[in-house]
Amino acid sequence: MKKILVLCTGNSCRSQMMHGYLQSMFADRAKIYSAGVETHGVNPFAIGVMAEDGVFIHDHSSNHVDEYADVDFDLAITVCDHAREICPIFPNAKETRHHAFSDPSHGEGSAKELIAAFRATRDEIKAYASGVVKDMVK
């Protein structure tokens, strides 16, 4: 079974959404982990917009990358530039990838505008996750 780590700054939005999509897309073919270089808790807006798309992350926890220091990963994905800068090398990962997604938690405006920002990032992450799955099952 493949092991995939998704890493972000706070393990609250982008990494949690990617974790949810990869977990649902890989089903029983991979174990998905997500972590942050800090822990901020899972963002309620992320939970909500993922549920809109039928992916439920309400039971996820915000974990620190150090928790997985002894896990050998087939793939480590950084989903923000800050995490990539802090952890540029994953000695226990066979492959690394990076794609910076905008951080919807830093948005401003009404609740409607914030939800729209979370949806836009969610949709970008879903498309990227689909590509990861296609690459990994070749």
Question: What is d(CA 98, CA 87) in angstroms, rounded to the nearest whole number?
Answer: 11
Could you confirm whether 13 is annotated as catalytic?
no
Q: How far is CA 3 from CA 44, 65, 122, in A?
A: 26, 14, 22
Residue from 8, 93, 117, 133 carrying the catalytic annotation: 8
Catalytic residue among 74, 86, 87, 120: 87
| Cα dist from 85 to 1, 7, 29, 36, 80, whole Å | 29, 11, 30, 12, 9
How far apart CA 103 and CA 45 sit, in angstroms, is 12
Question: Among all residues, which ones are annotated catalytic?
Answer: 8, 80, 87
